[in-house]
Chain A
Amino acid sequence: MKSAVIVFPGSNCDRDLAVAFEAVSGKKPEMVWHRETELPDGLDLIGVPGGFSYGDYLRSGAMAARSPVMRAVAQAAERGAFVLGVCNGFQVLTESGLLPGALMRNAGIHFVCRDVELTVENSQSAFTSRYEAGERITVPVAHHDGNYVADAETLDRLEGEGRVAFRYAESVNGSARNIAGILNKGGNVLGMMPHPERVIEKAHGRTDGRRLFEGLTGSLLTRA
C-alpha cells in the first residue's frame, strides 16, 4: 500500500497517522509538505492529519484547505485513492469541499479531550469493512471545533445514502444527528473527528481504531 500523509504548518498528529499507516501496511508513508503541487505517483491512501494547521486562524482548516497540495489530493480522490481526514483533517476536507457541511465550535464551548463511544453505522465502506454494522467502539477525541453542521437536506442525503460512517453514542459536541464521521459519495473519502490512530496497539490501552486501517489495506488487496 503506497500512502502519504500531508503536513501543514501546525499539524501535530501527522507522525501518529504515519505510524498507523506503517504499522498496518508494513510500508512507511511519504510525508508531503503542503506547498508541494504534486503527490507521488500511484498513491493508494492519503492521510490528512489532526493538529492546528495555521493555528486554526480564520477558521479551523480553512487556510490549509487552500494549500497548493490540496488540488493534488482532490485529483487523487477523483481517481479513487482513499483519503482519510482526522480531526483537523476532517475540517480541511469540509473546507476544501471534498466533504459536505462544516465543523464549528463545540456546542458546550469547552475543548473536549476524552474517550468517546462511537457506533459504526455500517460496514459498507473500505474504512468500516472490518467492523460490524452497529458495533460500538471507543476512540479518543480532542477538539474544540468538532460540531458537525449541514442543512437538513444534506443531512438527510448523508443518512439516506449510508454515508454516515460513525456516530457518537451520546452527544459530545452538539454535532447534527451526533455525526462523528462521514463519507463522500464515492465512499473513498472519510472525514472523522475522533482519532483512530491513537488506539491501534496494545500500548495505547485499546485497539478499536486498528481495524479502520486494516479495512483499507484489506480493500487494496482485493482491488482489481
Chain B
Amino acid sequence: MKARVFVTLKSGVLDPQGKAIQHALEGLGFGGVNDVRAGKLIELDLAEGTSQDDIEAMCRKLLANTVIENYRIEAVG
C-alpha cells in the first residue's frame, strides 16, 4: 500500500525559500502571485496492513518536526 505525506510549514513560520520562489515567478512575468510557501511530499511504499497509527507515528517521530511543521497523510490505493 502506498501513502503520501505532505509536510508543510506552520503558518506564521517564516519561509524564505517560498519568498525566493515568489520573486522568481514574478521575475518570469507572472503577476498576481501573492504568496508562496514550499513544503515536502514524502511517498511511502508500505507493507499491506500498515496501520494509520503507525503512519501517524512515522510523521510525528521523524517525517515532520512538529515544532515548525504540520503533516497530512493521504492513503493512495
CB distance from A153 to the nearest CB of B (A): 13
Q: Are A106 and B67 in touch, CB under 8 angstroms?
A: no
Q: Are B16 and A95 in touch, CB under 8 angstroms?
A: no
Q: Are A66 and B62 in touch, CB under 8 angstroms?
A: yes
Q: Is B20 an interface residue, CB under 8 A from the partner?
A: yes
Chain B interface size, as a band, is 10 to 19
- Given contacts A101-B67, A102-B68, A109-B20, is CB(A58)–CB(B14) below 8 Å? no
Q: Are A107 and B16 in touch, CB under 8 angstroms?
A: yes
Of residues 1 through 56 on chain B, the ones whose CB sits less than 8 Å from some CB of chain A are 13-14, 16-17, 20
Q: Are A62 and B20 in touch, CB under 8 angstroms?
A: no
For residue B61, which residues in chain A have a CB less than 8 angstroms away from its CB?
A: 66
- Please tell me which one of the listed residues A66, A94, A174 contacts residue B14 in the complex, with CB atoms under 8 A apart: A174
- Please tell me which one of the listed residues B16, B17, B62 contacts residue A58 in the complex, with CB atoms under 8 A apart: B62
Q: Is A9 an interface residue, CB under 8 A from the partner?
A: no
- CA distance in complex: A101, B14 (Å): 14
- Given contacts A62-B65, A102-B67, A149-B68, is CB(A108)–CB(B13) below 8 Å? no
Q: Are B62 and A104 in touch, CB under 8 angstroms?
A: no
CB distance from B17 to the nearest CB of A (A): 6
Q: Is A136 an interface residue, CB under 8 A from the partner?
A: no
Of residues 201 through 217 on chain A, the ones whose CB sits less than 8 Å from some CB of chain B are none
Interface mask (A92-110 → B, CB under 8 Å = 1, otherwise 0) = 0011000001101111110
- CA distance in complex: A109, B14 (Å): 11
Q: Is B73 an interface residue, CB under 8 A from the partner?
A: no
- CA distance in complex: A108, B17 (Å): 9
Q: Which 9 pairs, one residue from A and one from B, show the smallest C-beta to C-beta distance?
A: A102-B67, A102-B68, A109-B16, A107-B16, A109-B20, A105-B16, A59-B65, A102-B65, A105-B17
Q: Can you report 21 residue pairs joining A to B where beta carbons are below 8 Å apart?
A: A58-B62, A58-B63, A59-B65, A62-B62, A62-B65, A63-B62, A66-B61, A66-B62, A101-B67, A102-B65, A104-B14, A104-B68, A106-B16, A107-B16, A108-B16, A109-B16, A109-B20, A149-B13, A149-B14, A149-B67, A174-B14
Q: A residues bordering B, Cβ < 8 Å?
A: 58-59, 62-63, 66, 94-95, 101-102, 104-109, 147, 149-150, 174
Given A102-B68, A106-B16, A108-B16, 14 new contacts (CB under 8 A): A58-B62, A58-B63, A59-B65, A62-B62, A94-B67, A101-B67, A102-B65, A102-B67, A109-B20, A147-B14, A149-B13, A149-B14, A149-B68, A150-B67
